[in-house]
Amino acid sequence: ELMYTDPKRYSFLFQSYVQLTMLQLHTYKSTMPYKIMERSVFSARCFIENMKRTKLLKDVEVVVLEDWYDWCIQNANIVTDLI
């Protein structure tokens, strides 16, 4: 709710948590050979770009989120098969 009442204030906090939860979903060990996900670390990156372009994030916040995204991609072994 805070994100929607004051997006300029809470965009960074919200997006940081989104990336964390998306990473947790990607790395969760499933008993099934597949996972169906509506959103992902990759879609979270699109939201970062949008928040950057609409000036909801400060430059330093963008750098932190982009670095966090890059770390996830390089270190978390996120494998996707897009349909």
Q: List residues with catalytic annotation.
A: 38
**How would you write the chain as a 3-class SS string?**
CHHHHCHHHHHHHHHHHHHHHHHHHHHCCCCCCCCCCCCCHHHHHHHHHHHHHCCCCCHHHHHHHHHHHHHHHHHCCCCCCCC
